[in-house]
Each structure stands twice: as structure tokens, then as C-alpha cells.
Amino acid sequence: MSTRDAKIDTRIIHAGRAPEDHHGTVNPPAYRASTVIAPTVRELNERGKKRFDHVVTYGRHGTPTTFALEDAVAEIEGGTHCVSVGSGLAAVTATLTALLSAGDHLLMVDSVYGPTRAFCDHTLARMGIETTYYDPAAGAGISALMRPETKVVFTESPGSHTFEVQDVPAIAEVAHGGGAVVVMDNTWGILTFQPFTKGVDVSVQAATKYIVGHSDAMLGTITCADKDLFLRIRTSVALFGFAAGSEEAWLGLRGLRTLPIRLRQHFDAGLRIAQWLQTRPEVAAVLHPALPDHPGHALWARDFTGGCGLFGVALKPVSEAAVEAMLDGYDLFALGYSWGGFESLVVPTHVSRTATDWPHQGPLVRYHIGLEDPSDLIADLERGFDRLGSPA
């Protein structure tokens, strides 16, 4: 049965799965492999030519477990080809280094994930690749920053700390007009933003987050809808020696099957909590694109079919000690990086940007709403505001 035309909840159950290849077991096992033995020299050589076509040749080039994950992610992202790597950051850096050479220029959104920014400023700069940061709200206005040597326009929408939403289709049109490839970090928009219908050429996922979904593995994916572009990136991934571990890919596949149902709960509970936070006197702004008064709401409503459980809160100006007292004392919100797991998390965040000013004066806090009962989470947040005290 082909499930390509079925709804996403149905497709995700079948994507990348081939029980007949694994003695009928519902899930493929975690193939642990370095060496893969061939019966003849001819076969060894023939297989080698197909190593980027999901033929098993050597552990570093993938196993049936990583291939299954890649097929599934390609399908849910709406692309045709996917490669998995050891982390979300590796997916970003492998993509950028595959597409950029010395003398090239990169347009990078100013709200980008911090380590991506650090990679541009540290490694790409050292390799002679210049980065210009652009306003997340620029839209077609990035045309003013395009140069003949601009080879990549990188988007991340919404940003995972400031939650600004980008006009990706408008940006993509300008980028393509100038011959640049559009890369998107689509971690926040997994399942709810279909990158390849919005002009994106390469979609990167920190699969560590919602795909794995249980805070117990590091994983990244790079998906394309064009085979030639994919092979450029796939070759680079192979030459760097980046590879996802089979155990991690297996955990990614396990997480993926329940992704739509988890995501809806994260999103619904998150939105309810975001609405409650808007009523609090301590809060200057809730940074959640599904709230009607969010500056990116219209773009979100146009381009996304939902969201996830990650959003920010800009507090009214208050002492650092008060914020620490609020965060340290939570019972249900654990202090920790990352997001996308079943549990609620909180971190204080700091906006670092160079192209644009950040409008909020007070401290920023980022919440990940997990799968706990939202009324318990609201009670925990309420006690937190007691520790924070009244705004100055």
C-alpha cells in the first residue's frame, strides 16, 4: 500500500518501515556495523558505487537503521533525500561547508541558534567565508544584502530564543533570483512547516529535539528535494566522516512514530500556558507566534499548520537575583538546555545579535512545555511568580 497521499498521522506510522526486510519485525533493529562483507570483488565494487543510494557498504556510510530514519524524515519533511548525522549542529555545519567555499558570502538570520552563529564567526570566517547577519523581519528586503558571491541564505523560523517569524517564501524568491541556495533550520517547525513548498532547498533538523522526543539521544538530519543538491551535501558528509550512530537512529525512529500526537499536546498545552502568562503583571511579552498579538502571527498563520511547546517570555525589568529565585525553585520545570523531550524545561536566555536591536529591556526566559498536565505546570509557574516578586 502506498501511504504518500494519506494524512500525516498515518504516513508517519509507515514511513521508512519495511518489516519484510527484517524477518517481519515491526521495527528494524539497531544494526551495529563498521565492516560489511561482500561475496565477490565485483559485488564489492558494485555496492560501492551505490553507497549514497542506501546500499550498505561500510558503517560510516550508513546502515539499514539510519537509512530507515532517513527515508522517514525525507517523507515527513516533504523532501526526497535525507542524510542523518550525529547532532543537529553537525547537520548545520555539514550543510554550510558543503555549499560554501573561500570567497563566498553567506546571509545568516540574526536570530539564529547561537552555536550556528559561532560556527560562522569562528570556522567559516577562518576559511575565508564572509557572513552578513540580516534582520529576521527583512523578507524580500534581503535583496539589498545580496551580492554576486552570495551562495547561501540561511533561515530559521521562528528563532528558538526570540521566536521571530520569517517570510521564508519572500526570502527564497530573492535568494533564488540571485542564484543562492536557501537553507532552513526547521527544528521548531517539524511537521507544521513544509519547507519545500515554501521555497526552501535544504531543511535541517536537530532531531535531538522532537524527533527523538525523549531527551536521550543526539541526532541531526539534512533533507533535500533535489538529488544533485543532495549529492553535494551527502558527499561532504561522507568526507567529513559524519555519521549518525545506529542506536541513536533507532531511538529517532522510535520517537518519530508518536511525533504528531506528542506535538499536538506540546502545542496545545503550550498555547494555553502562553495565554495564561499574558495575563500576569510580571510579564512584558509572551513570545509565541500563535498568539494573535505576536508580531509574527500573520506569517505563522499563513505558513504553519501548528507549532510545538517552545516559546519565550520577556519579563518586565527585575533583578537577576529575583529571576534566579523564580527559576531555581520550580518543581516541574527543570533547568536545562535542549527541548522537544516529554518533560518541561526552562532556561534564562540572552539575545546576541548584530544586525538589529532587540526591543525588550527585561530578562528573557524560555519555556519548553512538556507532556505534564498543563494545570500543574500553571500552578508551578504561579508559585514562581511569588518568588519573583512584584515588578519594579
Ligand X SMILES: *Cc1c(COP(=O)(O)O)cnc(C)c1O
Nearer to ligand X, 16 or 340 (CB): 340
- Asked if 160 interacts with ligand X (CB under 6 A), we say yes
Give the catalytic positions in this structure.
Answer: 60, 113, 185, 209
Nearer to ligand X, 88 or 245 (CB): 88
Nearer to ligand X, 215 or 356 (CB): 215
Site track 110-149 with ligand X (rule: CB under 6 A), x = hit: ---x------------------------------------
Query: Residues 79, 220, 270, 370: which binds ligand X (CB under 6 A)?
Result: 220
CB of 389: closest distance to ligand X in angstroms? 31
Query: Residues 28, 79, 88, 260: which binds ligand X (CB under 6 A)?
Result: 88
Task: With contacts defined by CB under 6 A, name the span among 10-18, 82-90, 137-145, 228-236 that binds ligand X.
Answer: 82-90
Angle of CA points 10, 66, 198, to nearest 5°? 55
Measured distance CA(159)–CA(382) in Å, rounded: 26
- Asked if 162 interacts with ligand X (CB under 6 A), we say no
Nearer to ligand X, 166 or 187 (CB): 187
CB of 217: closest distance to ligand X in angstroms? 9
In this structure, the number of other CB atoms found within 10 A of the CB of residue 245 comes to 19
Measured distance CA(196)–CA(78) in Å, rounded: 6
Task: With contacts defined by CB under 6 A, name the span among 83-91, 165-173, 190-198, 367-375 that binds ligand X.
Answer: 83-91
Task: With contacts defined by CB under 6 A, name the span among 69-77, 85-93, 101-109, 320-328 that binds ligand X.
Answer: 85-93
- Asked if 212 interacts with ligand X (CB under 6 A), we say no
The three three-digit cell numbers of residue 90, written as one number:
553537525
State the residues that interact with ligand X by CB under 6 A. 87-89, 113, 156, 160, 185, 187, 206, 208-209, 218, 220, 338
